[in-house]
Structure 1
Amino acid sequence: MSRPRLVLIHGAATTARIWRRMLPHLTDYEVVCPDRPCSGDLDTEVAALAEPCTDAVIAGVSGGATLGLELAARGVPFRAAVLHEPAAGSLAPGLLAHVAEGLRTSGVTGFGRALYGPEWTEADAPTEPGVVDREFAMFRAFEPTPPPRDCGPVLLTVGAHSPPPRHASVTALGHHCNLPWTTIPGTSHAAHLESPQAFATTIRTHAHTNQADAPQ
């Protein structure tokens, strides 16, 4: 049997390189890590991801999780999705205020460290000038839409070490979108950097629960 395809969607201030710590824990998948256009336009980002995510398991962190939620809302037919701490729009006002302040005072470095913590480094960021500003504008403007009833099974996650506003945002998002959520141990927002094995296990468990051909 061929390995199921898993698409990992990166967030703002990162590229596909951000998944490097996850890959050793996902060898039972055919892993695809697309470098998004980082256009700052939600329609463009969804259009770029729709084809690779069709009939795949998908997972994302932060902005990548936000895009996964939008893929679900637009009916892209994926097999299962694990979305770690997506943006919650007006459900969680002020959630990204500290990230905005980091960007204002210290540019991309301040943004990356405010959002992802000390495990993120400048080497994880895209090199194109202005890309983080336009991506952040897109994600700050995002408003979640509940997925249709027949979309693939979606699991929201939050880090055990994430601050209370993050837990509150995922809870609010779960209620608003009628989606389940769970906590990933040993991590905060940057699950792919802080606790890659636990995040990989969550993906695998969710996929296996919801599809017969997920790896065991």
Structure 2
Amino acid sequence: MPRTRVLLVHGAATTARIWDPVTELLRADELDVVAPDRASSGDLAVELAALADDAAGAIVVGVSGGATLGLALAASDRMLAAAVLHEPAVGSLVPGLLDHVVAGYAADGVPGFGAALYGPSWDPTMAPADPGAVGRDLAMFRRFEPSAPSPGQGRVLVTVGELSPPARHQAAWALHDRLGVEVRVLPATGHFVQHDNPGALVEAIRSVL
């Protein structure tokens, strides 16, 4: 019997390496884990096309920008087994959600961006080698507007960190109210869950298996 595939989608200022702790836990569950390095092209259609084949029939898991791409995949004609999406962008549902990240990038480039978005446990070695990738991702995610999951789509679970600021909680519940997705608060973590508390994210993934 084929193993369940889990597609892990990283966000801006990180690479697929950021998933290593999550990957180790999921492979212990005998899941087929796929964690590609994104091109960070700045073009949403290009990013979704690159993920589409691996996403079909898979549990799509994303954090931050990766969650934003997962939300877009759930709204597409690509049928997912499920999605677990931690703190995606929500466009005009919560204006200003990314303002502090924009300010960090304007003040100090990639280091300022990473510190503002992920907090003190992020460091510049986690970013992609191409510094332009972060700027392209930021522009793309600032343009994003969420849409409802496609009819017949698998479960879509949006998570938010217990320690995240109020705007992140507002964003998660706005997606629930407008788009009908499920919401769960993950304990003892903020935005950078796959690094700071991977076990909490894995428990959420297990809940949709």
Separation in 1, partners of 2:131, 2:122: 18
Residue pair 2:102, 2:113 contacting (<8 A) in 1 also: yes
CA deviations on 1:96-149 (whole Å, 9 max, x unpaired) are 111001100111011011101112111110111311111100000100011122
The corresponding residue for 2:121 is 119
RMSD: 0.9
Structure 1 gap segments, 5+ residues each: 208-216
Cα drift, residue 18 of structure 1 = 0.9
Give the aligned residue type for 2:5.
R
Cα drift, residue 3 of structure 1 = 2.6
Cα drift, residue 75 of structure 1 = 2.2
SS at match of 2:201: helix
Separation in 2, partners of 1:106, 1:21: 28
The corresponding residue for 2:18 is 18
Separation in 1, partners of 2:99, 2:81: 34
The corresponding residue for 2:34 is 32
Residue pair 1:62, 1:86 contacting (<8 A) in 2 also: yes
Matched, 1:199 2:204: no
CA deviations on 1:49-82 (whole Å, 9 max, x unpaired) are 0001111111000000000000011121110110
Residue pair 1:75, 1:147 contacting (<8 A) in 2 also: no
Give the aligned residue type for 2:151.
R
SS at match of 1:83: strand
Separation in 2, partners of 1:200, 1:148: 25
Separation in 2, partners of 1:105, 1:72: 34
Separation in 2, partners of 1:170, 1:137: 21
SS at match of 1:70: helix
Residue pair 2:110, 2:131 contacting (<8 A) in 1 also: no
The corresponding residue for 2:177 is 175
Equivalent position to 2:52, from 50, 53, 68: 50
The corresponding residue for 2:166 is 164
Separation in 1, partners of 2:131, 2:91: 26
Give the TM-score of the pair, scaled to structure 1: 0.93
Cα drift, residue 163 of structure 1 = 0.7
Q: Write out aligned runs for 1:55-134 (5 A).
A: 55-134=57-136
Cα drift, residue 205 of structure 1 = 1.1
Cα drift, residue 173 of structure 1 = 1.3
Give the TM-score of the pair, scaled to structure 2: 0.96
| Identical residues among aligned pairs (%) | 52
Residue pair 2:9, 2:63 contacting (<8 A) in 1 also: yes
Count of aligned pairs between the two proteins: 207
Structure 2 gap segments, 5+ residues each: none
Separation in 1, partners of 2:150, 2:40: 26
Poorly superposed stretches of 4+, deviation over 3 Å: none
SS at match of 1:43: helix
Give the aligned residue type for 2:89.
A
Equivalent position to 2:192, from 183, 190, 193: 190
Cα drift, residue 24 of structure 1 = 2.2
The corresponding residue for 1:155 is 157
